[in-house]
Amino acid sequence: MAGYVEVLKADALQDGQMKSVKAGGQDILLAKVGGKFYAAENKCPHMGGNLAQGKLEGTVVTCPLHGSQFELKDGSVIRWTNWPGIVVAATKLMRRPRAIKTYPVKVEGDKVLVEV
């Protein structure tokens, strides 16, 4: 049964920051951009990189392992690895580009809640 779970206090994350949090047994990437919170699975679907250890530019997160990029607003793939052409083509045959799962987020008072 899905429900909202408190993951942290709203002031614990500065604008432009992200961190890994636990919610309902899931490892969730939580980011704050422009005063709004975004939540997504924290594991890159390419090679399992920890997205919270990557780079955040606006609402795009870059995996620290191979540079795959995902839009936190909807989980869509922006770039599937930063490898050169033929290598990317080969990896797409083995591991097709896949969006990351995103989760609804709401703020109640000073609490950030994620629906899992």
Q: What is the mean pLDDT of residues 76-98?
A: 70
pTM of the model: 0.88
Q: What is the pLDDT confidence band of residue 95, given thresholds at 50, 70 and 90?
A: low
Q: Which helix (H) or strand (E) holds 27?
A: strand 26-33
100-114 pLDDT, tens digit per residue, is: 999 999 999 999 999
- 51-87 core/surface letters (b: 16 or more CB in 10 A; e: else): bbebebeeebbbbebbbbbbbbeebebeebbeeeeee
Half-sphere exposure of 61 (CA within 13 A, CB side): 36
* Residue 96 scores a pLDDT above 70: yes
User: What CATH class is the domain 9-101?
Assistant: mainly beta
Measured over all CA atoms, what is the biggest interatomic distance in the chain, rounded to whole angstroms? Answer: 50
